[in-house]
Amino acid sequence: MVTHPDQANPHEFNPWLHVSSLIDKAGRLLGLDEGMIQRIITPERILEVAVPVRMDSGEIHMFTGWRIQHDTSRGPGKGGIRFHPSVNTDEIAALSADMSIKCAVVNIPYGGAKGGVKVDPEALSRSELERLTRRYAFSIAPMIGPDRDIPAPDINTDTQVMSWIMDTVSMLRGHNTPGVVTGKPLSIGGTLGHAGATSLGVTICTAAILERLGRPMNEQRVVIQGYGKVGAPLVKLLSDRGMKVVGIADVHGAIHVPEGISYSILAKHFADAGTVVGYPGSVHVPADELFTIPSDIAIPAALGGVITEQVAETMSATIMIEAANGPTTGEGAAVLASRNIPVVPDVLANAGGVVASYFEWAQDLQGFMWERELFTQRLEKTMSEAFKYVWQRHLELNVTLRETAIAVGVERIAEATAIRGLFP
Ligand code: GLU
């Protein structure tokens, strides 16, 4: 079960309590009644599974996995699966609620879900990772399916992991089931635009807020935390639009390059060194000082809970775009608001990934694949329209962009819930 507010440890950031308080606040702003607010906060279904894995050594190791469907009033559950040592019920529940809001904000016909296994995948061999993935997929199989709940990649999961899940479920059901996961390789029903779609959405939101604030793109210096699936493509996408990426951090440290990082040189350096640290001509900065580097735009694109009160106080940038899920704590958000630093929240900024997933799923269900141009054009349209609507409501409601986006999501979930009525 998720942590109840009465059990909260005031000294620890709890992502679940944070998200539920944001939904609660949005519900009150919209004038929803208490019962409806609780209905929207409470996860529909929480599954915790034991994942025994035979290690290469012959020993059996036990891992724990989860799949949580937060809300399915607008459509089947949708959301990624992460493999990380920090995974627990509250984290997955918070991320599943973020997915319900995110899918509603970009107005795609999904509810929200999330899954994960508490594991350090770096410590597993490839065959151990495959056995872990397949056993986890088998254990959550009764809960997932193209019309129930559709997983996707998240932290430390990729096209290979999705392929193993798709294969395991297809074997169980006795027929090919490509629509059970998104973010697959092209050969088994993936789509051309999925890789990099989150980064494209982040770029569209960055360009959109700069336009609204009347700030020219080619004068912006950007710092990015994370050089993974989302952070790495961002360097090219932002540079192509004339922005200068002056700082990047990964788990090994941060680099500062005042004249701007070349994405092609960085890609080559990273391929050789396995880290951004040591980029030719860069100054090595401790990773926790990344956001103090003189810059205009800050983009956290790694883990949650990193923009704390202290990081927010010393942040140099004057706009923040949340490419990661849940990067900002409540205290961090309050400091940014008091410093008048606008934040494009995760549920809008990083929604490009799930929009791409929606297109992939729709194509799999139809058995008809789109061309890349159509995919990109629809992604850009969906993201631009979502940003436009949130911005307009932000001006009307006069609350932060995060509060507005959550209110937009909650309003749409409440509408679906109300019109469907309560069963039985
Ligand atoms: N993991 C991504 C996210 O957090 C994508 C989820 C999906 O495509 O279902 O938005």
Kindly list the domain boundaries of the chain, sorted by start residue: 5-178, 197-349
| CA 353–ligand 1 middle distance (angstroms) | 5
Supply 389's token pair.
């609507």
Tell me: cis bond preceding 5? Omega within 30 of 0 counts: no
Give yes or no for a contact between 288 and 313, defined as CB atoms under 8 angstroms apart: no
Same fold, 5-178 and 197-349: yes
Among residues 74, 95, 96, the alpha carbon closest in space to that of 413 is found at 74
State the pairing for strand pair 343-344/319-321. Answer: parallel
Among residues 194, 281, 297, the alpha carbon closest in space to that of 241 is found at 297
CA distance 340 to 337: 5
Confirm whether 114 is a catalytic residue: yes
| CA 155–ligand 1 middle distance (angstroms) | 10
Question: Which of 78, 114, 118, 184 is flagged as catalytic?
Answer: 114
CA distance 395 to 288: 34
Residue 229 near ligand 1, beta carbon < 6 Å:
no
| CA 345–ligand 1 middle distance (angstroms) | 15
Residue 72 near ligand 1, beta carbon < 6 Å:
no
DSSP H helical ranges for 141-273: 159-173, 197-213, 231-240, 263-273
Q: At what angle do helices 15-29 and 401-420 cross, to 10 degrees?
A: 70
Query: Which ligand 1 atom is at minimum distance from the Cα of 153?
Result: 1
CA distance 75 to 67: 17
Which of 92, 98, 99, 161 maximizes ligand 1 atoms within 8 Å of its Cβ, making it the mutation to test the pocket?
A: 99
Among residues 416, 414, 422, the alpha carbon closest in space to that of 37 is found at 414
Q: How many CA atoms lie within 13 A of 134 on its CB side?
A: 14
| Residue ranges of the chain with per-residue pLDDT less than 50 | none
State residue 12's pLDDT score: 86
| CA 424–ligand 1 middle distance (angstroms) | 32
Residue 152 near ligand 1, beta carbon < 6 Å:
yes
| CA 80–ligand 1 middle distance (angstroms) | 5
- Amino acid in the structure at residue 145: G
Among residues 239, 205, 231, 238, the alpha carbon closest in space to that of 321 is found at 205
| CA 354–ligand 1 middle distance (angstroms) | 5
Residue 292 near ligand 1, beta carbon < 6 Å:
no
- Whether the full predicted model's pTM is greater than 0.95, yes or no, is yes
Residue 354 near ligand 1, beta carbon < 6 Å:
yes
User: In which residue are the tokens 């092609």 written?
Assistant: 264
Residue of minimum CA distance from atom 9 in ligand 1: 79
CB atoms under 10 Å from CB of 57, counted, come to 9
Backbone dihedral angles phi then psi of residue 342, each to the nearest 5 degrees: -65, 140
CA distance 297 to 285: 18
Percent of the chain with pLDDT over 70: 100
Give yes or no for a contact between 61 and 131, defined as CB atoms under 8 angstroms apart: no
Supply 308's token pair.
């704390």
Q: Is 206 helix (H, G, I), strand (E, B) or coil?
A: helix
Supply 315's token pair.
């942040």
137, containing H or E segment: helix 126-140
Our measurement of the distance from residue 263's CA atom to the centroid of its chain's CA atoms, rounded to an integer in Å, reads 23
Supply 361's token pair.
């799923």
Using one digit for the tens of pLDDT, what is the confidence trace for 108-167?
999 999 999 999 999 999 999 999 999 999 999 999 999 999 999 999 999 999 999 999
User: In which residue are the tokens 């932002």 written?
Assistant: 238
Residue 154 near ligand 1, beta carbon < 6 Å:
yes
| CATH superfamily of the 5-178 domain | Leucine Dehydrogenase, chain A, domain 1 (3.40.50.10860)
How many helical (H) and strand (E) elements, i.e. helices and strands, does the chain have? 14, 12
- DSSP string of 346-379, one letter each residue: HHHHTTHHHHHHHHHHHHHHHT-PPPHHHHHHHH
Supply 196's token pair.
């990099």
Residue 311 near ligand 1, beta carbon < 6 Å:
no
Residue 357 near ligand 1, beta carbon < 6 Å:
yes
| CA 404–ligand 1 middle distance (angstroms) | 21
89, containing H or E segment: helix 89-105
| CATH superfamily of the 197-349 domain | NAD(P)-binding Rossmann-like Domain (3.40.50.720)
DSSP H helical ranges for 289-369: 309-314, 330-338, 346-349, 352-366
Query: Which ligand 1 atom is at minimum distance from the Cα of 351?
Result: 10
Supply 305's token pair.
């809970």
CB burial class (10 A; 0-12, 13-18, 19+) of residue 424?
Answer: exposed
State residue 5's pLDDT score: 86
CA distance 91 to 399: 26
Query: Which ligand 1 atom is at minimum distance from the Cα of 98?
Result: 4
- Amino acid in the structure at residue 170: S
Q: How many CA atoms lie within 13 A of 237 on its CB side?
A: 19
CB atoms under 10 Å from CB of 422, counted, come to 8
Q: What angle do CA 305, 311, 315 make, to 5 degrees?
A: 125
Residue 199 near ligand 1, beta carbon < 6 Å:
no
State residue 90's pLDDT score: 97
